[in-house]
Amino acid sequence: MTTHDAARAALRATGTGWVKAHRSAGQNGCVEINLRVSGHAGIRDSKLGDASPVIVLTRTGMDALLGAIADGHFDGPAS
């Protein structure tokens, strides 16, 4: 079992620690993150909850993803 597999199993086993962005209050099309497994971050679909597949990133990978999002690397073309 790889480190990512072990982290995924630990994240799936815990029903706690999943958080949704405050800006998504009342909306159902969001992702949740969980930082409870040391050195890793889990991402899942909030609509599916515990049934959702879990994407696992290292904390460094999560920081890089959030930085790219903040820098607009995933913004679509201007309308």
| Per-residue pLDDT tens digits of the chain, which is 79 residues long | 678 889 988 888 877 889 987 766 666 678 899 999 999 999 998 888 888 899 999 999 999 999 998 999 988 886 6
Distance CA 34, CA 42 (A): 5
Question: Can you name the residues that pair with 56 across neighbouring β-strands?
Answer: 42
- In this predicted structure, what is the pLDDT of residue 26? 67
pLDDT score, position 11: 87
* Burial of 40 (C-beta count, 10 Å sphere; 0-12/13-18/19+): buried
Q: Which residues contact 52 (CB under 8 A, 6 or more apart)?
A: 44, 45, 46
Q: Would you state the structure tokens that stand for residue 8, as one six-digit string?
A: 């995924």
